[in-house]
Amino acid sequence: MVPPSVQLAKSIHDTLSNAIAVAEQATVGVHNQEGNSHYLSMLLEDRLGRLHQQLLALFRQQDRSPDRTHATNMDPLAKRRRRLIGRVDDAIDLAADTDSSGAVRRSILEDLEGIERDFAAYETEFARVSGDGVDATAAADRNGN
């Protein structure tokens, strides 16, 4: 049976991929049409909100892990967690601006790609310090290691 944290991590990757696809769509000219611009901004904001909730759920699940012997090792992860949530929140704020320019939309896309890399690095680090629930090899592969 696949641990719930692994399923949630895969779901986070799916949501990130979907958000990146929406952001790419918004940067390649579709946003020139006002109706599409508003729709894509709302869709992106929805995906980012979902991502925010999924990250919080994953962190809560990991904190409730039955193996709490590594709790002191989790402290280095707190900074990564705060950074991930902060970056997602910043991207939500940018996406909420339906009148944003192409440069802002490209910035959102770059932010999402950075969040994707940061999450893969977080997974790898979590697997290293806890050995709990995350497939370290798969996380390293997603991180390009």
Query: What would the pLDDT profile of 8-31 be if each residue is shown by its tens digit?
Result: 999 999 999 999 998 888 777 554
Q: What pLDDT does residue 33 have?
A: 57
Q: What is the CATH number of the domain that holds 66?
A: 1.20.120
**89-113 average pLDDT score:** 81
DSSP SS3 for 96: coil
The arithmetic mean of pLDDT across residues 88-104, rounded, is 78
The whole-angstrom separation of Cα 130 and Cα 123 is: 10
DSSP percent split of the chain into helix, strand, coil, nearest 5? 85, 0, 15
Question: How big is the CA angle at 83 (ends 75 and 142), to the nearest 5 degrees?
Answer: 90
Residue 107 pLDDT: 86
Domain around 52: 4-142
d(CA 141, CA 117): 11
Rg (CA), the chain: 16
Instruction: Name the residue with higher pLDDT: 36 or 89.
Output: 89
Per-chain mean pLDDT for the chain: 79
Q: Which residue has the tokens 């949630």?
A: 8
Of all residues in the chain, what percent carry a pLDDT higher than 90? Answer: 34
How many domains are there within the chain?
1
Q: Which residue has better confidence, 144 or 91?
A: 91
Q: The tokens of 86 are what?
A: 């902060």
Average pLDDT over residues 114-132: 87
Q: Which is more confidently placed, 67 or 76?
A: 76
* Torsion angle (degrees, nearest 10) of CA 28, 34, 39, 42: 90
Q: pLDDT band for 96, please (50, 70, 90 cuts).
A: confident
pLDDT of residue 66: 62
Residue 98 has pLDDT above 70, yes or no: no
* Angle formed by the axes of helices 102-130 and 75-95, nearest 10°: 160
